[in-house]
A and B are shown apart, each in its own frame.
Chain A
Amino acid sequence: MSKRVLIVDDHAGFRASARRLLQCNGYEVVGEAADGAEALKLADELQPELVLLDIHLPDADGRYVGRRISSGREAPDVVLISSRDIADLGDSIERAGALGFISKAELSGESLAALLT
């Protein structure tokens, strides 16, 4: 069964690469959002099972957006991503209600699967 994914990142180039990579690994990408407001809207409309969420969004902090998305009933899993290393972000990831964190350059079918199982 393929998981329905929403990709949230303000760089179109990254979104395109991530979409190809996820599709290749059997995920169904149901939507892309470029900022926090759009992410909240699409998460509500599209009911994805997984949200790949950049921490550095132009209009909001991804950790805050993640907490909002994962607070409802039947909320999707949230995986935070960033081009920074986890060491630069401190322990704020855990408090964001996210399933986990993947550094953007390390995004792959395996790294996602490791978090989801």
Chain B
Amino acid sequence: MTLSKRAVWALAVLGFACGIALVPGIATSDFAEDRGLWIALDLVIGFGFIGTGAFAWRRRPGNRVGALMMATGFAWYLSVAPLVDSAFLFTVGQATSNLFVATAIHLLLAFPSGRLEQPVDRLVVGVAYLATTVGALIPMLFLDPVALGCANCPDNLLLVDSNRSFFESWYDSLGVVGITVLLSTLAILVARWREASPPLRRIVGPVFAAGGLLMVGLAGLLAVSIAGAEWQATKTIFYATLIPFGLVPYLFLFSLVQARMLRGGAVGQLVATIGETAGSGDIRDALAVALNDPSVDLAYWLQASEKYVDVQGRRIELPDSEDETRAVYHVTLDGDRVGAIVHDPTVLEDPDLLEAVGGAAALALQREQLEAALRAKVGELEQSRTRMIRFGMAERRRLERDLHDGAQQRLVSLALDLRLAHDMVRRDPAQAEQVLEGAADELGQALEELRELARGIHPALLSDRGLDPAVETLAQRAPLPVEVEAKLGDRVPEPVELAAYFVVSEALTNVVKYAQASQARVRLERDNGLVLVEVADDGVGGAEPGRGSGLRGLADRIASLGGRFEVVSAPGSGTTVRASIPCE
């Protein structure tokens, strides 16, 4: 329920006025017992709920706890009203004298979120409202105060027929329902307290304790009254029960103030700690103290790679908005994202504190952000180094296999053929000549394979004449039309030349092997101290750079030069491999 702040205060003033207005009525009542005590109860309990409720409602307009507190205050006045010597107030008050118990149960079960989260909560609260309204209204038709021994009581305006036995048996049945509702509430409170996280326990503990006592007291009261105990004994239990009830708003205020004082001190402590900390992790601990939430986690934003990492530089995902067990506070500094505080949702109870803590921590987070970024970089480099070593070893194995299966086999055959020709040359010169011809072919092919291998290791054309002609030659040797736009002109450092060359070579190899393309385009240019390489085809797309060792190895090679490498390859719309390598 959202009311304007002014409306909430107006309601509070009305509540205080009601409490005060009842005072003279109680004081002059000629049938009420313990009038002084009742005046005190009227004011202390009524003002407590109305005042605290208004405060809570104004502070958190979206939370129903404030409204429920105020409702409990007004319901309390209804149960005091029958003490006034007025037939109207007596009748209305008598019919609703237990409504405050229903609103109190509602308040307790909805605390601290303001919502009845579970179906069982709604059931218990629903039965409580039903019993204290309809359930209490029906016997009013048969309640004759005079017949019950109260000669000076005002008239019951709802009286239809004085029937004491119906009235009493109805009240006994209602008492059983009441005991069930009260004990159910008690059980739910106990279960909820046991499930609560430590920070939540600190918030709900005092209120739940008072609420639990209230439930026990009221259940006991109903039990002794069903058992037909003396009025004096029943009255004593009732008065005792009102103590925890009356304490509820004050305990609520107390836990609020205590938490604020603790946290207020903690914010100061946080600022001091941040000034001194050098090591990572200290900020997290300081925040855990300041927010009174030991579960706090920090996430640092890495702008360069657009991800969150922990203090060790490991990638982490923030909990999503669906996650009800964690909440996220985003920390910014001068409009830049610095990081995030992942915390228990109960911390949201105090948005001002979160704001203050977030602000105080922003600078320190920014400092640790640099550290985390550095660690993330180191982690990436280590991984990339391992991959490069593996890639290098795999390359050497591939070279050995290529040599063994290719040129070496041809040379072996060549050796055999030469030996054969040697054996034959006198006996059968014509046959020997034929064998030698075959041997020459074999030698030619072995040489071509060796050249191909050597180009794969380090292309001679590249070292002799540079990237533009080397790439032109790659394009010419490809078995599909490749349009080349090579505009580098001047030579660039050798590692850059090599990396760019292998990007084109590997990309074209992949085009031929996988892309089913009809043509490809290679672009080489220099821009702002970067060498840009792009190879695009019109093939089937769907290439995954993480899968093949070729592209992965290229990515690492480019990364080792401080460059960027990307593959754009949506299925059906071709593949574009792009690299930019710093060359100055």
Contacts and interface: CB of A to CB of B under 8 A. Distances in A.
Interface of A: 11, 13-14, 16-18, 20-21, 24-25, 56, 83-84, 104-109
Given A21-B416, A83-B409, A104-B412, A13 B442 contact: yes
B233 interface: no
Contact of B419 (A11, A16, A108): A108
Contacts of A21: 416, 419-420, 423
B413 interface: yes
Interface of chain B: mostly helix, strand, loop or mixed: helix
Contacts of A14: 409, 412-413, 416
Given A14-B413, A20-B417, A108-B419, 14 more contacts: A11-B405, A11-B413, A13-B413, A17-B416, A17-B417, A18-B416, A20-B435, A21-B416, A24-B423, A25-B423, A83-B408, A104-B415, A105-B411, A105-B415
Nearest to B434: A20
A76 B423 CA distance: 27
Contacts of B491: none
Contact of B412 (A24, A25, A83): A83
Given A17-B413, A107-B416, A24 B424 contact: yes
Contacts of A56: 404
Interface in B317-375: none
Report the contact-size class of chain B (Cβ under 8 Å from the partner).
Answer: 10 to 19
Contacts of A13: 409-410, 413, 442
Contacts of B442: 13
25 contacts: A11-B405, A11-B409, A13-B410, A13-B413, A14-B409, A14-B412, A17-B412, A17-B416, A17-B417, A18-B416, A21-B416, A21-B420, A24-B420, A24-B423, A24-B424, A83-B404, A83-B408, A83-B409, A83-B412, A104-B416, A105-B411, A105-B416, A106-B415, A107-B416, A109-B423
Nearest to A108: B419
A87 B364 CA distance: 64
Nearest to A13: B413
A109 B419 CA distance: 10
A94 B205 CA distance: 83
Contacts of A109: 423
Contacts of B417: 17, 20
A106 B280 CA distance: 68
Nearest to A107: B416
Contacts of B416: 14, 17-18, 20-21, 104-105, 107
A5 to B, nearest CB: 14
A109 B420 CA distance: 10
A109 B415 CA distance: 13
A20 B442 CA distance: 15
A21 B424 CA distance: 10
Contacts of B405: 11
A17 B420 contact: yes
A67 B408 CA distance: 27
Contacts of A107: 416, 419
Interface string B402-445: 00110011111101110110011000000000010000001000
A109 B417 CA distance: 13
Contacts of B409: 11, 13-14, 83
Nearest 10 CB-CB pairings of A with B = A17-B416, A105-B415, A17-B413, A104-B412, A13-B413, A21-B420, A11-B409, A105-B412, A83-B412, A21-B416
